[in-house]
Amino acid sequence: MKKPSVKFTVILGVIVVLLLAGASWYSIMFNDWRLVARMDFEAYEFLSKDLPMLGALLLFNLYVIYLGGLLVWAIVASKRRLAKTKTTRKMDPRLGLLGVFGFFGFVGFWTYSAFHQVYPFIFFVFFGFFGFFYEGRMSGILMDERYVENRTRAELAAHRVTVAALFVTLLVVARGAILGNLEYTLIAVLIVLSLTVALDLFLSEYLLYRYDRADQLDEGGEG
């Protein structure tokens, strides 16, 4: 079975999002915000005007399931290739740009003050995706014993730093409240946890790259 191309997946995603946006617009303009604004589904009665929104939601959910399937496919394929070739996974360093999504974490300050919603803080985890830049620069190389050793060293160093950060956070939040407010404490914990996960993801890739390529300029060619 052939793997679907990235282009196909992105185009499909754009179409689904556009359909959802169109259906939302239709609902807002002509259907009294039904299925867009929060509503009581126990008292829900079907109207034919709901069809565009229901269809768009169905497509959106199917697309999410499709993405989940792709993820499983990628993991299985990666494991098979690993067992066969013993090389690192293929990755474009430009995927490191996904780390930019980490800045969406700052939206959490606004959503908290406006709606008391804190979930956008989780986006800080995306900062860890900057590590894909380094992983991409080492993609497709043979995982020999030196690589495995460096990988272990890098992960250990990254875990040490993140555990230290978590320990300090624990000491601070264990005092009970930040600025005398338990909600602020929860937000602080959420931010620190997200940033810690991001740091772990990033550091393990960055340190592996540094250990592997250290003194590269100093290395001679054939002697």
What does the binding site for other proteins look like in residue numbers (CB under 8 A)?
141-142, 144-147, 212, 215, 219-223
CB of 89 to other proteins, least distance (A): 16
Instruction: State the DSSP H helix or E strand holding residue 135, giving kind and residue range, or none if neither.
Output: helix 131-137
CB of 81 to other proteins, least distance (A): 17
Q: Report the residue number, 45 or 218, with the smaller CB distance to other proteins.
A: 218
Q: Report the residue number, 85 or 181, with the smaller CB distance to other proteins.
A: 85
CA distances (Å), origin 39, targets 11, 35, 36, 44, 119 = 31, 7, 8, 8, 21
Distance of CA 212 to the CA centre of its chain: 26
Q: Report the residue number, 180 or 220, with the smaller CB distance to other proteins.
A: 220
Q: Report the residue number, 50 or 212, with the smaller CB distance to other proteins.
A: 212
CB of 153 to other proteins, least distance (A): 12
CB of 80 to other proteins, least distance (A): 20
- 198 touches 104 (CB < 8 A): no
**Per residue in 120-139, is it b (16+ CB within 10 Å) or e — as a string?**
bbbbbbbbbbbbbbbbbebb
